[in-house]
């Protein structure tokens, strides 16, 4: 017999942080440092969040390798990479505060690679004018997450791991907590809080070929959308140019940009360094959108590698350097693909990697439009605009994690105790038990695959109106099927089939938001390429698109880019330089 009990346990805090990647951990550390009783909730075990996979480094203008570097140049690079759709204020804070946040990691025990004079080492990366990425070989994310994790658990944060949040609870307009289930037991849990910080990461699992883990189902995007918050820049999905293409089991797995940062060369099957056709100035270190489209085009025109990618060669750097600078890439290829990258080229192709779009927040505090709801990290939009530069995410996590944590703690210290609405809790519980006992239920795994194929084929690297409208129609069908999805086998204890049923609802919201925004933006810019509108458009160049829930209907509307008047000279200077 299935346990259909709707019983739940309750916890009370000042602030709950949903997500324990870099952004969530940094936010929780800040909240608790400000004296707020803080809970940190995550779907996996602590320390396993997606951030752990980050490889190449953290962008911060420390100017250890290139003395000329400064926040102004980092700001300009970020805006140029984002095709000027970034929230200027976010890009400014990000560039200004990243160095201090990186130094802080060091003071908390992180051990970065060193320069010859004993400082934090920095490497080159696509789109960054100077050598800017602080790193630890190619496992920078692990260093970041472990450092924050150890700092956090010794600071009195309550950690709830393997716990999935399925709804935000509201008290009138304001957010007052969250409802979720324990993966290990299937039991329900209610968190009552004065403020909530979302730090749930990306939505890569909407696509078939992705570098993201199972957790990246856009939960935070969907929770915020359902709670009435706005999403911004959803049409911009970053396809990283270099994912593995073979063997099938690892298709999409990331090959870090650090390979190109360390001198890796991209060639087609005729041995030509094809980037000279697409961006002769920056070549392999062009921005990701440009390199991804270049590889896609080479393959489409018949110049691809045997398994449908192109070649990436680093072997000229010599075995010793490669093993020291790129150890996990060396092992990844050796063990998973039988390829020795110190001797032979890798085969690589584009993979859905990073979500530029996300919850629209106030740059300084991380506040969304919904009172009490804050957000940080990949689940937010703004800092990256139309395309993110490598290394700018890890820095985003610690800069805005800190800010959102401080913002939420400040709000909580003023706010009255919230009131829980029993009816909302019961509805959330009923939703989770409703997946059981559905006769002839839809198979969630099948449905997920159909969703991924739809997005991959119709809303991928190149888009056009007819594909996007077809995608919307398909998503409509998928939504109908999702209403019938159910658990065919097993009970509530650690049942991945059950979990997926609920995750699908989030992915469908995200997929629809991406598709609707992509249809709206009738131009090509950054990561968004329309075959039917291949040029830049001046109107769209000045506007972001917002997605919002309007009485159950998804609404898209434009809003002017957030600019900072004092920074106009910096931006104009950069634009002038690019024209030369």
Partner 1 sequence: MSSRVFKVWRGDKSGGRFVDYQVQAEEGMVVLDAIHQIQRTQAPDLACRWNCKAAKCGSCGAEVNGKPRLMCKTRLDALPPGDVVSVSPMRSFPLIRDLVTDVSWNFQVNQKIPPFTPRPDATWIMQQEDVDRVQEFRKCIECFLCQNVCHVLREHDLKQHFFGPRFFVRIASLQMHPMDGLDRMALLKDQAGLGLCNVTKCCTEVCPEEIHITDNAIIPMKERVVDRYYDPLAWLWRKIRHAP
Ligand X SMILES: Cc1cc2nc3c(=O)[nH]c(=O)nc-3n(C[C@H](O)[C@H](O)[C@H](O)COP(=O)(O)OP(=O)(O)OC[C@H]3O[C@@H](n4cnc5c(N)ncnc54)[C@H](O)[C@@H]3O)c2cc1C
C-beta of 461 vs 468, nearer to ligand X: 461
Q: Under DSSP, is residue 412 helix (H, G, I), strand (E, B) or coil? A: helix
By the rule CB under 6 A, 102 interacts with ligand X: no
- The span of 131-139, 262-270, 271-279, 452-460 binding partner 1 (CB under 8 A) equals 131-139
388 is catalytic: no
C-beta of 137 vs 391, nearer to ligand X: 391
* Closest residue to ligand X in the complex (CB): 21
Catalytic residue among 13, 260, 288, 516: 260
| DSSP conformation letters of 78-127 | HHHHTTT-S-HHHHHHHHHHHHHHHHHHHHTT----B-TTSSB-EE--TT
Distances in Å between the Cα of 504 and the Cα atoms of 65, 162, 194, 349, 511 are 45, 18, 28, 27, 10
Taking the complex as a whole, how short is the minimal distance between the CB of residue 462 and ligand X, in angstroms? 22
Count of other CB atoms within 10 angstroms of residue 175: 28
361, 367 Cβ separation under 8 angstroms:
yes
CA distance 416 to 113: 47
199, 27 Cβ separation under 8 angstroms:
yes
Residue 483 binds which one of partner 1, ligand X, none, with CB within 5 to 8 A depending on kind? none
Site string for ligand X, 157-196 (x = CB under 6 A): -------xx-------------------------------
Residue 219 binds which one of ligand X, partner 1, none, with CB within 5 to 8 A depending on kind? ligand X
CA distance 323 to 566: 46
C-beta of 262 vs 378, nearer to ligand X: 378
Residue 405 binds which one of partner 1, ligand X, none, with CB within 5 to 8 A depending on kind? none
Site for ligand X in 377-396 (CB under 6 A): 377-379, 390-394
Taking the complex as a whole, how short is the minimal distance between the CB of residue 445 and partner 1, in angstroms? 5
Peptide bond into 247 cis (omega under 30): yes
Token pair of 255, please? 């090959």
Distances in Å between the Cα of 127 and the Cα atoms of 38, 83, 123, 275, 293 are 37, 12, 12, 14, 16
Taking the complex as a whole, how short is the minimal distance between the CB of residue 493 and partner 1, in angstroms? 5
CA distance 538 to 522: 11
221 is catalytic: no
By the rule CB under 6 A, 53 interacts with ligand X: yes
Site for partner 1 in 225-244 (CB under 8 A): none
Site for partner 1 in 185-224 (CB under 8 A): 213-215
Element (H, E) at 243: strand 237-244
Count of other CB atoms within 10 angstroms of residue 571: 18
Catalytic residue among 64, 94, 128, 240: 240
Site string for ligand X, 212-241 (x = CB under 6 A): x--x---x----------------------
C-beta of 19 vs 152, nearer to ligand X: 19
CA distance 505 to 406: 31
Contacts with ligand X: how many residues (CB under 6 A)? 42
Phi and psi angles of residue 121, each rounded to the nearest 5 degrees, phi first: -75, 150
Residue 445 binds which one of ligand X, partner 1, none, with CB within 5 to 8 A depending on kind? partner 1
Please name which of 172, 109, 137 lies closest in space to residue 372, comparing C-alpha atoms: 172
Taking the complex as a whole, how short is the minimal distance between the CB of residue 262 and partner 1, in angstroms? 16
C-beta of 116 vs 271, nearer to partner 1: 116
C-beta of 55 vs 97, nearer to ligand X: 55
Token pair of 243, please? 């994912």
C-beta of 258 vs 472, nearer to partner 1: 258
By the rule CB under 6 A, 549 interacts with ligand X: no
Site for partner 1 in 321-340 (CB under 8 A): 328, 331-332, 335-338
Count of other CB atoms within 10 angstroms of residue 42: 27
By the rule CB under 6 A, 50 interacts with ligand X: yes
Among residues 14, 21, 90, 406, which is the contact residue for ligand X, using CB under 6 A?
21
CA distance 281 to 510: 36
By the rule CB under 6 A, 97 interacts with ligand X: no
CA distance 535 to 396: 29
By the rule CB under 6 A, 91 interacts with ligand X: no
C-beta of 183 vs 528, nearer to partner 1: 183
- The span of 377-385, 455-463, 494-502, 547-555 binding partner 1 (CB under 8 A) equals 494-502
CA distance 461 to 467: 12
Residue 337 binds which one of ligand X, partner 1, none, with CB within 5 to 8 A depending on kind? partner 1
By the rule CB under 8 A, 66 interacts with partner 1: no
Phi-psi region of 91 (alpha: psi -120 to 50; beta: other; left: phi over 0): alpha
Please name which of 52, 45, 48, 50 lies closest in space to residue 159, comparing C-alpha atoms: 45
When computed from its CA atoms, the radius of gyration of the chain, rounded to whole angstroms, is 23
Site string for partner 1, 245-284 (x = CB under 8 A): -xxxxx--xx------------------------------
- The span of 108-116, 293-301, 413-421, 430-438 binding partner 1 (CB under 8 A) equals 108-116
By the rule CB under 8 A, 445 interacts with partner 1: yes
User: Residue 561's Cα: distance from chain center in Å?
Assistant: 21
Token pair of 407, please? 């913002």
Please name which of 446, 461, 451, 455 lies closest in space to residue 528, comparing C-alpha atoms: 461
Count of other CB atoms within 10 angstroms of residue 550: 11
CA distance 58 to 391: 5
Count of other CB atoms within 10 angstroms of residue 2: 13
C-beta of 102 vs 451, nearer to ligand X: 102
Contacts to partner 1 by CB under 8 A: 44-50, 52-53, 103, 106-109, 111, 113-114, 117-119, 136-137, 139, 141-143, 146, 150-151, 153-154, 159, 184, 213-215, 246-250, 253-254, 328, 331-332, 335-338, 443-445, 487-491, 493-498
Please give the positions annotated as active site. 240, 260
Contacts to ligand X by CB under 6 A: 18-24, 41-44, 49-51, 53-57, 140-141, 164-165, 199-201, 211-212, 215, 219, 254, 353-354, 377-379, 390-394, 397
């Amino acid at each position: 017999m299935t346990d259909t009990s709707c019983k739940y346990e309750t916890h009370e805090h000042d602030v709950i942080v949903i997500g324990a990647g870099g952004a969530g951990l940094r936010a929780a550390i800040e909240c608790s440092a400000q004296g707020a009783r803080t809970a940190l909730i995550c779907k996996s075990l602590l320390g396993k969040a997606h951030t752990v996979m980050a490889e190449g480094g953290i962008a911060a203008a420390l100017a250890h390798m290139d003395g000329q570097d400064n926040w102004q140049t980092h700001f300009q690079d970020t805006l140029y990479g984002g095709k000027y759709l970034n929230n200027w204020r976010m890009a400014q804070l990000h560039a200004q505060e990243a160095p201090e946040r990186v130094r802080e990691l060091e003071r908390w025990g992180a051990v970065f690679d060193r320069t010859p004079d004993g400082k934090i080492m920095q490497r080159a990366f696509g789109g960054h004018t100077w050598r800017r990425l602080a790193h630890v070989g190619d496992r920078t994310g692990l260093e970041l997450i472990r450092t924050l994790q150890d700092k956090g658990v010794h600071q009195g944060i309550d950690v709830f791991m393997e716990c999935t949040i399925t709804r935000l609870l509201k008290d009138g307009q304001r957010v007052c907590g969250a409802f979720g289930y324990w993966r290990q037991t299937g039991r329900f849990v209610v968190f009552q809080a004065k403020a909530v910080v979302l730090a749930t990461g990306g939505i890569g699992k909407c696509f078939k070929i992705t570098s993201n883990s199972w957790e990246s189902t856009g939960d935070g995007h969907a929770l915020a959308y359902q709670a009435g918050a706005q999403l911004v820049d959803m049409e911009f999905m970053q396809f990283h140019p270099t994912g593995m293409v073979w063997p099938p089991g690892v298709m999409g797995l990331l090959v870090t940009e650090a390979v190109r940062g360390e001198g890796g060369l991209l060639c087609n099957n005729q041995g030509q360094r094809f980037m000279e056709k697409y961006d002769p100035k920056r070549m392999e270190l062009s921005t990701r959108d440009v390199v991804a489209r270049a590889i896609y085009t080479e393959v489409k025109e018949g110049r691809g590698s045997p398994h449908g990618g192109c070649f990436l060669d680093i072997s000229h750097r010599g075995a010793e350097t490669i093993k020291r600078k790129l150890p996990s890439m060396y092992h990844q290829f050796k063990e998973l693909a039988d390829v020795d990258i110190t001797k032979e080229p890798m085969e690589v192709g584009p993979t859905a990697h990073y979500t530029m779009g996300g919850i629209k927040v106030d740059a300084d505090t991380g506040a969304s439009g919904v009172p009490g709801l804050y957000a940080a990290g990949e689940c937010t939009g703004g800092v990256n605009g139309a395309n993110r530069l490598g290394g700018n995410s890890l820095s985003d996590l610690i800069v805005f994690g800190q800010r959102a944590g401080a913002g939420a703690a400040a709000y909580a210290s003023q706010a009255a105790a919230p009131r829980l609405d029993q009816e909302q809790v019961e509805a959330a519980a009923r939703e989770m038990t409703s997946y059981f006992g559905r006769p002839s239920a839809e198979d969630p795994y099948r449905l997920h695959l159909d969703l991924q194929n739809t997005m991959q084929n119709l809303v991928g690297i190149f888009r056009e109106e007819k594909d996007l409208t077809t995608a919307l129609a398909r998503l409509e069908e998928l939504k109908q099927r999702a209403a019938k999805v159910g658990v065919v086998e097993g009970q509530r204890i650690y049942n991945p089939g059950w979990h997926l049923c609920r995750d699908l609802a989030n992915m469908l919201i995200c997929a629809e938001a991406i598709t609707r925004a992509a249809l709206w933006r009738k131009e090509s810019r950054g990561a968004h390429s329309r075959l039917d509108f291949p040029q830049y458009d001046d109107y769209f160049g000045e506007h972001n698109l917002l997605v919002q829930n309007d009485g159950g209907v998804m609404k898209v509307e434009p809003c002017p880019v957030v600019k900072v008047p004092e920074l106009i000279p910096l931006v104009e200077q950069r634009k002038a330089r690019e024209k030369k």
